[in-house]
Amino acid sequence: MKSTAPRTKPSDERRTDLLDAAEELVQNQGAERFTVEDVTTGAGVAKGTFYLHFTSKGDLLDALRDRYVRRFAEVQLSAARVEGGVAGVRAWMRAGVTEYLRDVRLHDVLFHPSTRGERDTPNTVVDTFAEFLASLDSPPADPETTALILYSAMHGVTEHIVHTPGTDDRLLAGLDRLVVSVLEV
């Protein structure tokens, strides 16, 4: 009697196997060092299977970034929905920090390949900003944390403007409102 079980995995499972193998390689070797052959060996597939799903190693890295971001956003949204309202916003933010810290090396290698996942230098911009905040006539209670939060907001707004032209005025106005709300207690 012939087996009715499929001989191969469905396409989406093969793609996941390739992404899983690449993710492990990225974490262990960095984004620059692994090869397509390393990925196919790790996934247990023929090299041709790779090219059914990805056009290049760069395309694979883009897919890994996309998967990371989607996973990250799902964790945050789940946390926010449990709480709802302002508590949900706090839960969303905290879930983001927790998720980032859970996989900081993967994040850094995928999004900041020049750091190769190593963070041993201080953020001089944040440190200088904290010193400036501390020197204000009415400094915030915690200048270091305030500097980090405002710097991160500025960084995020800048990145969004770069990738979404035409949003400058609205985003900069939002950043101004954030500064006022944080510093004018």
Residue 143 to residue 132: CA distance in whole angstroms: 9
Q: What is the radius of gyration, based on Cα positions, of the chain?
A: 22
Question: What is the pLDDT at residue 156?
Answer: 86
pTM given for the model: 0.70
As to burial, measured by CB atoms within 10 angstroms (0-12 exposed, 13-18 middle, 19+ buried), residue 6 is: exposed
Task: Please say if the pLDDT value at position 16 is more than 90.
Answer: yes
Task: Please say if the pLDDT value at position 6 is more than 70.
Answer: no
| Mean pLDDT, rounded, for 87-98 | 83
Asked if 134 contacts 108 with a C-beta cutoff of 8 angstroms, the reply is: no
Mean pLDDT of the chain: 86
Residue 31: φ, ψ to 5°: -75, -25
Task: Please say if the pLDDT value at position 116 is more than 50.
Answer: no
Helical H segments across 44-167, by residue range = 47-53, 57-83, 85-102, 104-111, 124-134, 143-163
Question: What is the pLDDT at residue 122?
Answer: 63
